[in-house]
Structures are given as structure tokens and as C-alpha cells.
Amino acid sequence: LVTDFDSASPDIDERLLPGESPEQYVSRLAESKARVCDRQNDLTLGADTAVALGHRILGKPHDRDDAMAMLEALSGRTHEVYTAVALLREGSVQQVCTCTSVTFTALSSAAIGEYLATDEPWDKAGAYGIQGLGSALIERIHGSYSGIMGLPIYETIQLLDLAKIRYMLSP
């Protein structure tokens, strides 16, 4: 029964490879994170999330201007959030990737400035966090809410079930 676990943020190269789609990108990073953190005979989950506006991946903002440009680009538009989860066990990997459509409301410069004055945008792909004040920026979503936050719970549970791994509240 999985009730105790360690959490880590491995330092991996997160550069986008030429021709790599957002789904391929997050899948590669999720597996890389799992492999870096793996200890022999352990179960390891790796996950990664990317915000994509068309073919452009919006990472974590480098500074205030970068965050402002991202939020201005997302304003009044629909984008996708891709999250991949990799389950590594005894060298074998199983993966799942979710894609959620997120539509932002039209944002005024003042609203963007107020949001940038909070601590939320700085360590978030696309410069927003749906689980906090950033939820006020969003008109609607279609897909996995928990996937937008970085770990699609339903899909992760499916991976655990497929691997016959018991967890708290498993059926």
C-alpha cells in the first residue's frame, strides 16, 4: 500500500528539442524526471506540465516582462495545458498524457499588473496558477483540472491500477 513517499525536483535539461510537439516534450521530461529520481526496486512517478499557445510552449517566466507578455498573449484566447505522468518500476515505464483546453477571459493591463504583483506567476508555466488567484483569469476549461495543476489525479490512479499498486482509497 503506497502511503509514504518522497518528493523531489530533479535538475534536468528542459530545453525543447527541434520538432518536438508539446505532448512529446512533457512525456520526455516526465520520463527523464522519473529516471533521475529512481532508486532500484522502487516505484517512481515523474510528471511535467507545459502550457502551449498554438505551437509555442510557454515555460516559466524569466522576469516580469516575460510574464506580462505571456499573460497578454493568453488574454481572451484558448490554449492547451499538457501534463504527462511516467510510472517507472523495475526499469519499465508506463505513461499517460492529458491535454486540457483553457480559455482566458480578456485581461486589462491593470488586471495583469495586479496579478503580477502577487507571488503566483513566477514558478508557473504560462505565468499563472489555476489553483490560486489565477483562477479569476480563466473563463472555462475542458479537461483535467488537476492536470493543469501538474498531476492529473484520475489518470495517475489509472497508471497505479494498471501496475496493481495499492494506494490510499484504492478499490
Catalytic residue among 48, 65, 66, 161: 48
Task: Kindly give, in sequence order, each residue whose CB lies less than 8 Å from that of residue 5, ignoring residues fewer than 6 positions away.
Answer: none
Give kind and range of the element (H or E) at residue 82. strand 78-89
For residue 167, give the nearest of 2, 7, 49 by alpha carbon.
Answer: 2
Catalytic site residue 13? no
Burial of 140 (0-12, 13-18, 19+ CB in 10 A): exposed
Cell of 8: 523531489
Query: What amino acid positions are annotated as catalytic residues?
Result: 48
